[in-house]
Amino acid sequence: MKIPSSELPLQPNGAIYHIGIHPENLSDKIILVGDPGRVETISNKFDTVEFKHSHRELTTHTGYYKNKRISVLSTGMGTDNIDIVMTELDALANVDLQKMEVKSEHKTLTMVRVGTCGAIQKNIPVGAFIASKKGFGFDGLLQFYRHNSEDYEELVAHFVQFTGWGERLPYPYCYPANQTLLDTIAFDMVQGITASAPGFFGPQGRVVRAPLTFPLLNEKIEKFEYKELKITNLEMECSAIYGLGNLLGHKPLTVCLAIANRVTHQFLNDYDKKMDELITKVLDRI
């Protein structure tokens, strides 16, 4: 079935609309970052860079690192941007953009998000590397898709009951990381459930001036446990990467540097060296 151009728009040169690249510009191994500036930080470690492109906050570099072809792409902040990026990356791999038809053979992409987060357990120090065994979404994005996370419905229901989740809040969802990537990339990192919030301040329990409707949420998140799993950290993208990654048949993983601890109120101002260490680990192991 042909996909209408209104549903999957392209640029006049045939590039995918938002990311702005062609299928041949993309590797099967992709590192996702939020900050466009971090793309060059990573590609500077490449042996060769074959392609660079920027459109809005979406910057893509593709090149070789130790004989591995890797693409690095900035997503900007938030699960709404992830919806665009994941859909377009999948289309680059699995849609014939000239015929506008889904290809008969599926290509699986490896997608590793490298970012920052706030730890929500007091025993996780700032500077720790946290890998997300599961992405737990507060954002509601996956509820707009016909998805099936039956394996995690019980976990979600337990969380809703434990926290007294408000009726006006988006119903949570939960999806897993790719186990092979956890084993090969994140074997020496803290592992747990990562909660993705649809904002940085109120949705993550920060109070500046506007009052919160759920002021005790972070305390309940800290105490929540299900089958020996705890929520280790808060950030803004993982749940959508895991949800859409699983839905579309790709291999997702999120690894983050904890630059804050929301329980102890510590913050790591200078984290360039730690981020460089995390980036190198991912490049060596992807």
Q: Write out pLDDT tens, residues 248-270.
A: 999 999 999 999 999 999 999 99
Q: Answer yes or no: do 73 and 155 share one domain.
A: no
Phi, psi of 46 (to 5 degrees): -65, 155
State mean pLDDT over 112-132.
97
Phi, psi of 166 (to 5 degrees): -65, 145
What pLDDT does residue 157 have? 93
**Within its chain, how far is the Cα of 83 from the centroid?**
10
Contact between 41 and 271 (Cβ < 8 Å): no
Q: Answer yes or no: do 15 and 58 share one domain.
A: yes
CATH number at residue 280: 3.40.50.1580
Q: Which of 116, 252, 132, 265 is nearest to 190 (CA)?
A: 132
Q: Answer yes or no: do 92 and 190 share one domain.
A: no
Contact between 119 and 128 (Cβ < 8 Å): yes
Q: Answer yes or no: do 122 and 86 share one domain.
A: no
What pLDDT does residue 202 have? 94
Would the pTM count as exceeding 0.85? yes
Q: Is the pLDDT of residue 283 over 80?
A: yes
Range of the domain at 123: 115-286
Distance from C-alpha of 31 to C-alpha of 284, rounded to nearest angstrom: 12
What pLDDT does residue 72 have? 98
Distance from C-alpha of 95 to C-alpha of 97, rounded to nearest angstrom: 6
Q: Answer yes or no: do 224 and 151 share one domain.
A: yes
Q: Is the pLDDT of residue 150 over 80?
A: no
Q: Answer yes or no: do 48 and 124 share one domain.
A: no
Residue 141 pLDDT class (50, 70, 90 cuts): very high
Q: Answer yes or no: do 1 and 96 share one domain.
A: yes
**pLDDT, tens only, 18-48:** 999 999 999 999 999 999 999 999 999 999 9
**pLDDT, tens only, 53-107:** 999 999 999 999 999 999 999 999 999 999 999 999 999 999 999 999 999 999 9
Q: Answer yes or no: do 153 and 64 share one domain.
A: no
Q: Which of 21, 163, 164, 161 is nearest to 85 (CA)?
A: 21
The total domain count for the chain is 2
What pLDDT does residue 131 have? 98
Which is it for strands 29-33 and 68-74: parallel, antiparallel or unpaired? Answer: parallel
Pick from 91, 107, 123: which residue ends a domain? 107
Distance from C-alpha of 119 to C-alpha of 38, rounded to nearest angstrom: 21
**pLDDT, tens only, 174-201:** 999 999 999 999 999 999 999 999 999 9
Q: Is the pLDDT of residue 166 over 80?
A: yes
Q: Answer yes or no: do 127 and 81 share one domain.
A: no
Q: Answer yes or no: do 193 and 226 share one domain.
A: yes
Pick from 54, 78, 107: which residue ends a domain? 107
Q: Answer yes or no: do 220 and 171 share one domain.
A: yes
Q: Answer yes or no: do 87 and 120 share one domain.
A: no
Pick from 88, 107, 126: which residue ends a domain? 107
Distance from C-alpha of 163 to C-alpha of 221, rounded to nearest angstrom: 7
Residue 1 pLDDT class (50, 70, 90 cuts): confident
**pLDDT, tens only, 232-252:** 999 999 999 999 999 999 999
